[in-house]
Structure 1
Amino acid sequence: MKTTGNTIFMTGGTSGIGLELARRFRDLGNTVIISGRRKDLLDQLAAEDHLEGVVLDVADPDSIATAFAEVTARHTVNVLITMAGIMQAENLQDPAHLAASEATIDINLLGTIRSITTFLPYLQQQTDPAVITVSSGLAFVPLALTPTYNATKAAIHSYAQSLRLQLADTAVQVIELVPPAVQTELMGSAPDPSWMPLDEYTDESIAILQQHPDVEEILVDRVHFLRAAERENRHPEAVAALNSH
């Protein structure tokens, strides 16, 4: 994927990794359209960051269809980034966890699939098309606190692989962004200072894409501990280390 001259639509993007990546891509000479459920926040980011926003709830198929029609009426989009997602703690011994589990699947996994399904026929008609999915190091080594989040990210990893194989004879590039623990407020609380600083994560991710435009997975150094654990025959040790806190 080239890193300049694109028109990028991002599901999500009003905070955390999504917002910082949107800013970086904008500064590299791309047109970036972000989305989210809160119009007031989108308006604020449009004023402060000069990022165009579109109202979108990926849990609602009608909302995706409306956003697709709106953004493609104004722009020729060639890159889709499926950034929208939630991460919630769950106690699997408490039946009440099911509500969080269902919401996580609906937004993280089905929201990704719905968005790609809506945009893919359109992207196939564009020049230099790409889809960037977002999984996690937790797709490969689970954090016990967030079981359904881990499962959705593992599913996105597998889905991206299948999508890449099915699109092998097309021009659409499929890239998987695999973050480690990054200093964002994804879980609604202050980030752990031991996590990777957000600016360092985005710097390294963009650098990887610039140096390796044909990359299939964007893996910063910090995530290799998780991504390579099974291949290096140290998965039990990685699970223990990750969950020791």
Structure 2
Amino acid sequence: MVGEGFGRATPESQGVSSRSIRDFLAAANASGISWHSMMLVRHGQVVAEGWWKPYEPGFVHSLYSLSKSFTSTAIGLLVEEGKLDIHAKVVSFFPDDLPASVSDNLRQATVRSLLTMNTGHAEDTMPKMRASSDSWVRTYLSQPVEFTPGTHFLYNTGNTYMLGAILHKVTGQTLEEYLKPRLFQPLGITGYDWEVSPQGLNTAGYGLRVKTEDIAKLGQLYLQKGSGKGVRY
């Protein structure tokens, strides 16, 4: 169940060893890593959870690149609604933001290229986007694309931002606005916030803050192949 939160159960009742959980926690505490929280879900039941001081269950946590999973979910929903083709060219959404000279590689990049991090860039575009006084979309489109899309993998947070920008072009909504009735509300995710660019679009590839249990809700929704209490995709 994901729509109203998880039930709680003992580890053994769900086939999980309490001793193994204690061993994990001992290893976590000995790791030297600054842990915030942990939640273990089995068969839709929380069998172990905990927060390291000063963190608490009601606190939201910065997801960093886990934000990308929420963005890609939004794109999947947009495709399911018949409003987006993943084979559409990226440049087709931004005719007014293109550089004077558009390279063949840039012209070939598709929504799928953004999703799979195969746009052909040799370096992450996000640092230059964040440093630019121009719009992030125009800055992204002005960057060199050294490789043919689909031939070179590069983890590029700028790609994910462009997915959010495309969603905005298609729907007129930010990622946060689009996902609220389709994902956040059905899953009972509240109290979240998402950073925005200078142009007012959610940063998409990072910057989302939700509670620990909210992360588990998204994971459980995927485990259930898009079906949960109050939501069906």
**TM-score class normalised by the smaller sequence:** under 0.3
Q: TM-score, normalised by structure 2?
A: 0.25
Greater RCO (Cα-Cα under 8 Å, separation 6 or more): 2
Q: Give the structure with higher Rg (CA).
A: 2
